[in-house]
């Protein structure tokens, strides 16, 4: 595969040049509320995280936990009439909360790009793949010619591993296979060499072998472009392979945050334990049972009082009094390190994890720790 | 594509043949003798059994039905001579019979009336789209707003009024009450004889009535299709690329929303081309619609037959065109 030199965007002023110190993306106390007929729905609340260039943040959680909503807020994709966004989102040093639509448009697809799940629905069915890529390039390179854009589109298709890109560039999305469509999506997202790439469940609709190829491709491209990547998923396998840091979301809040190693090996929040318990393990004996998290994600219209996970939490009886029901736990440093944050009232989460949770999900590891 | 069109044309010819047979049989085996209307007319309603017999014999109604149908079909390709009572009428191919009222070949009158009907249809359909699509798009972009709700409900009101009443009221108010200058003298004036201004002013009110009534429907179609298109994932993708709103709404949204609108439009346009009875009658335009109405009232069987066949042909062709255009608009559609 030929390596394609990426030209730095020259048509629009890139915020990359300013404020290059510190994480590329900084989200602070983000809150997203949708007013509905039944009252305001707070889909994301008090969310703080940052991603450096070259690093990958994985955001995990169930459907409706606010993963996609928070990322769409970063991209400015919410309708300003129907979503109220507060807090701070800094992209390459530029504050994007409250930024004018015209300036936001200059960042979108240029400094930051998003690739979506289900590429068949996310690509326009009536336009050729090449046309859609060219459009993404031309909108941020007003001086480029149609021919430049086409050459660039073919280069990008080649880069993401589409065979015969000079021919396939004239295909329509429905003529591509599912994996190729997702590759084309990625090519479109990266065509302007963005510093931040948000991948919203990029492998959800694909079969497993294709999933692995797409993840490899994303990693290759990240190394090449040195971009900050956010990968949104509910698949902890994807997290284990891709992410440097992990943000676990529940009911619109961050409930645990840490390095991938910390989250996967020493989680301290019962919801994270639940996620880990519900992964099938290829190495386990066939009669080992998956342990689902009981209940359903809460309604964001009337979220539970106190800790929003308490109605589903099997460990809340270990917390004295009504604390879980009455008081929202703060996001505090966990015991495994300062960068590891958790939102839980449990006094001794490590003890509960090693004695009760670990024997259920990975009995072989219990022996090693003892 | 070519093979598909040929296949559809062949099946279209088949359908037209079946329609012509059905019409022929309906008149042949109708409640009264097919010669009764012309006998009544020619004898000033003193048609005796003996006279009726003469008409039936000369018109061929004494022969077996297949034989007469055969002659009718043959007349499409070869000149024939028709005999009514004691008179002979030359009818050149494609012969569609001779009008019982005017004794003129039906084909010639049909051809002479096509420009009027097509003028109404093209102008009215143009207004459907000219007003329907932009208003629909505007409503979809402001969906849920007061303006949108007011528009949708007032258009629903207009389109729930019967069309003949709407057209009649339009005519009454604009020509009688307000006497709108230039346009009150409605009718069809051939552009080649009377010039474009006379042609335009004669048809203008008909277009307005047809266009306003029809565009309410198109506003609703377009609005619905547009609301759906704008909620699609690819619109979010377009926004994420950093495209300007105008490009997102028109290039990505409207492009997708137009497909169902064009489909309905093709069928509606075909219906208009087949003759607009109310519009032509109310605005006194000598087109095919009015002609067919007169033929039914005057029991002019050959003319009724011809207008029915004409609308069948027009509808079959417009349906075929809709399918072809559909495959051009939506690359996912394969014609086969």
* DSSP codes, B122-133: HHHHHHHHHHHH
A94: closest CA of chain B, how far (Å): 16
What is the total count of domains within chain A?
2
What is the total count of domains within chain B?
2
Q: Assess whether A201 and A302 both reside in one domain.
A: no
Q: Assess whether A142 and A275 both reside in one domain.
A: no
CB contact set of A57 (below 8 Å; sequence gap of 6+): A49, A51, A228, A229, A230, A231, A243, A244, A245, A246, A247
Strands A228-233 and A196-200: parallel
Average pLDDT over every residue of A246-271: 93
Q: Looking up tokens 């944050």, which residue turns up?
A: A341
Q: Assess whether A239 and A281 both reside in one domain.
A: no
Angle formed by the axes of helices A178-190 and A146-159, to 10°?
Answer: 130
**pLDDT tens for each residue of A240-257:** 999 999 999 999 999 999
Instruction: Give the span between the Cα atoms of A105 and A83, in whole angstroms.
Output: 18
Q: Note whether residue B234 is domain-resident.
A: yes
Q: Assess whether A30 and A159 both reside in one domain.
A: yes
Cβ(A117)–Cβ(B236) below 8 Å: no
The more confidently predicted of residues B236 and A370 is: B236
Q: Assess whether A237 and A273 both reside in one domain.
A: no
Q: Assess whether B27 and B149 both reside in one domain.
A: no
Q: Assess whether B218 and B76 both reside in one domain.
A: no
**pLDDT tens for each residue of B23-41:** 889 888 888 888 888 888 8
Domain of residue A29, CATH code: 3.40.50.300
Average pLDDT over every residue of B173-180: 82
Average pLDDT over every residue of B186-198: 89
Mark which residues 118-157 of A lie under 8 Å from B by CB: 118, 121-126, 135-136, 139-140
Q: Chain-centre distance of CA A234, in angstroms?
A: 9
B148 contacts on A by Cβ (under 8 Å): none
Q: Assess whether B40 and B183 both reside in one domain.
A: no
Q: Assess whether A230 and A308 both reside in one domain.
A: no
Q: Assess whether B30 and B164 both reside in one domain.
A: no
DSSP H or E stretch at residue B111: helix B106-141
Read off the pLDDT band of A368 (50, 70, 90): low
Residue B329 and residue A126: Cβ atoms within 8 Å?
yes
Read off the pLDDT band of B177 (50, 70, 90): confident
Whether A106 and chain B come into contact, CB under 8 Å, resolves to yes
Q: Assess whether A123 and A196 both reside in one domain.
A: yes
Last residue of a domain, one of B91, B106, B121: B106
Q: Assess whether B91 and B66 both reside in one domain.
A: yes
Q: Assess whether A232 and A276 both reside in one domain.
A: no
Dihedral angle of Cα A110, A115, A116, A117, to the nearest 10 degrees: 170
Q: Note whether residue A291 is domain-resident.
A: yes
Residue A174 and residue B236: Cβ atoms within 8 Å?
no
**pLDDT tens for each residue of A124-180:** 999 999 999 999 999 999 999 999 999 999 999 999 999 999 999 999 999 999 999
Read off the pLDDT band of A366 (50, 70, 90): low
Determine the residue among A12, A83, A109 to mutate to test chain B binding: the one whose Cβ has the most chain B Cβ atoms within 10 Å.
A109
Q: Assess whether A182 and A323 both reside in one domain.
A: no
Domain range for A140 is 25-243
Q: Note whether residue B235 is domain-resident.
A: yes
Domain range for B10 is 2-106
How much is the ipTM here?
Answer: 0.86
Instruction: Quote the pLDDT of residue A90.
Output: 94
Instruction: Give the span between the Cα atoms of A190 and A309, in whole angstroms.
Output: 37
- The radius of gyration of chain A's CA atoms, rounded to the nearest angstrom, is 22
Cβ(B322)–Cβ(B266) below 8 Å: yes
Nearest to B242 among A123, A139, A174 (CB): A139
Q: Note whether residue A60 is domain-resident.
A: yes
**pLDDT tens for each residue of A144-153:** 999 999 999 9
Last residue of a domain, one of A243, A277, A295: A243
**Residue in B closest to A78 by C-alpha:** B236
Q: Which two tokens stand for residue B73?
A: 């079909």
DSSP H or E stretch at residue A280: none
The structure's pTM equals: 0.84
Q: Is A63 helix (H, G, I), strand (E, B) or coil?
A: coil
Last residue of a domain, one of B43, B73, B106: B106
A136: closest CA of chain B, how far (Å): 6
Q: Assess whether A230 and A301 both reside in one domain.
A: no
Angle formed by the axes of helices B65-77 and B2-28, to 10°?
Answer: 130
CB contact set of A308 (below 8 Å; sequence gap of 6+): A250, A251, A252, A253, A298, A328
Cβ(A334)–Cβ(A342) below 8 Å: yes
Instruction: Give the span between the Cα atoms of B258 and A359, in whole angstroms.
Output: 60
Determine the residue among A125, A130, A186 to mutate to test chain B binding: the one whose Cβ has the most chain B Cβ atoms within 10 Å.
A125
Instruction: Give the span between the Cα atoms of B258 and A134, in whole angstroms.
Output: 23
Last residue of a domain, one of B106, B134, B163: B106
Q: Note whether residue B334 is domain-resident.
A: no
Whether A114 and chain B come into contact, CB under 8 Å, resolves to yes
Nearest to A218 by CA among A191, A195, A187: A187
């Amino acid at each position: 595969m030929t390596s394609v030199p990426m030209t730095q965007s020259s048509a629009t002023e890139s915020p990359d040049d300013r404020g290059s110190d510190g994480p590329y993306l900084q989200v602070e106390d983000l809150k997203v509320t949708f007013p509905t007929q039944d009252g305001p729905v707070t889909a994301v609340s008090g969310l703080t995280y940052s991603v450096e260039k070259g690093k990958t943040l994985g955001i995990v959680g169930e459907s409706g936990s606010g993963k996609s909503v928070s990322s769409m807020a970063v991209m400015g994709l919410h309708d300003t009439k129907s979503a109220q966004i507060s807090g701070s989102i800094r992209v390459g040093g530029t504050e994007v909360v409250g930024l004018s639509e015209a300036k936001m448009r200059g960042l979108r697809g240029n400094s930051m790009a998003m690739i979506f799940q289900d590429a068949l629905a996310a690509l326009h069915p009536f336009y050729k793949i090449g046309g859609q890529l060219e459009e993404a390039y031309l909108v941020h390179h007003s001086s480029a010619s149609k021919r430049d854009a086409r050459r660039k589109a073919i280069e990008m298709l080649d880069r993401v591993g589409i065979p015969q890109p000079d021919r396939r560039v004239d295909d329509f999305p429905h003529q591509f296979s599912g994996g190729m469509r997702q590759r084309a999506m990625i090519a479109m997202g990266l065509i302007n060499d963005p510093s931040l790439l948000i991948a919203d469940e990029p492998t959800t609709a694909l079969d497993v072998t294709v999933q692995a190829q797409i993840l490899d491709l994303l990693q290759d491209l990240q190394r090449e472009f040195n971009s900050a990547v956010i990968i949104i998923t509910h698949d902890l396998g994807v997290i284990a392979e891709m992410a440097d840091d992990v943000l676990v979301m529940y009911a619109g809040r961050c409930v645990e945050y840490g390095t991938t190693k910390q989250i996967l090996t020493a989680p301290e929040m019962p919801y994270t334990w639940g996620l880990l318990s519900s992964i099938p393990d290829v190495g386990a004996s066939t009669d080992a049972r998956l342990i689902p998290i009981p209940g359903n994600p809460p309604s964001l219209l009337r979220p539970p009082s106190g800790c929003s996970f308490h109605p589903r939490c099997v460990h809340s009886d270990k917390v004295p009094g009504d604390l879980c029901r009455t008081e929202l736990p703060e996001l505090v440093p966990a015991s495994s390190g300062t960068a590891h944050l958790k939102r839980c009232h449990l006094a001794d989460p490590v003890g509960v994890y090693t004695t009760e949770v670990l024997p259920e999900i990975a009995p072989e590891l219990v022996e090693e720790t003892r | 594509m070519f093979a598909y069109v040929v296949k559809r044309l062949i099946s279209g010819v088949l359908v037209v043949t079946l329609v012509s047979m059905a019409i022929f049989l309906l008149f042949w085996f109708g409640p009264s003798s097919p010669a009764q209307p012309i006998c009544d007319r020619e004898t000033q309603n003193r048609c005796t059994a003996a006279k009726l017999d003469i008409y039936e014999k000369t018109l061929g109604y004494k022969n077996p039905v297949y034989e007469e149908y055969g002659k009718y079909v043959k007349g499409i390709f070869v000149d024939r001579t028709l005999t009514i009572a004691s008179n002979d009428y030359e009818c050149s191919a494609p012969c569609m019979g001779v009008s019982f009222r005017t004794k003129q070949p039906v084909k010639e009158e049909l051809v002479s009336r096509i420009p009027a009907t097509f003028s109404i249809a093209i102008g009215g359909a143009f207004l459907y789209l000219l007003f329907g699509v932009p208003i629909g798009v505007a409503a979809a972009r402001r969906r849920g707003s007061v303006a949108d709700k007011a528009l949708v409900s007032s258009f629903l009101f207009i389109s729930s009024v019967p069309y003949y009443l709407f057209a009649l009221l339009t005519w009454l108010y604009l020509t009688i009450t307000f006497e709108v200058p230039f346009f009150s003298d409605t009718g069809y004036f051939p552009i080649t004889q009377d010039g474009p201004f006379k042609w335009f002013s004669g048809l203008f009110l008909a277009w307005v009535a047809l266009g306003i009534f029809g565009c309410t429907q198109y506003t609703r179609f377009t609005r619905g299709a547009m609301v759906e298109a704008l909620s699609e994932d690819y619109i979010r993708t377009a926004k994420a690329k950093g495209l300007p709103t105008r490009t997102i709404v028109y290039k990505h949204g409207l492009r997708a929303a137009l497909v169902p609108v064009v489909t309905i439009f093709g069928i509606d346009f075909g219906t208009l081309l087949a003759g607009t009875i109310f519009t032509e009658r109310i605005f006194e335009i000598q087109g095919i619609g009015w002609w067919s109405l007169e033929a039914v009232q005057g029991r002019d069987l050959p003319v009724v037959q011809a207008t029915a066949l004409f609308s069948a042909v027009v509808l079959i062709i417009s349906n075929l065109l809709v399918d072809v255009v559909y495959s051009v608009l939506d690359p996912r559609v394969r014609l086969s």
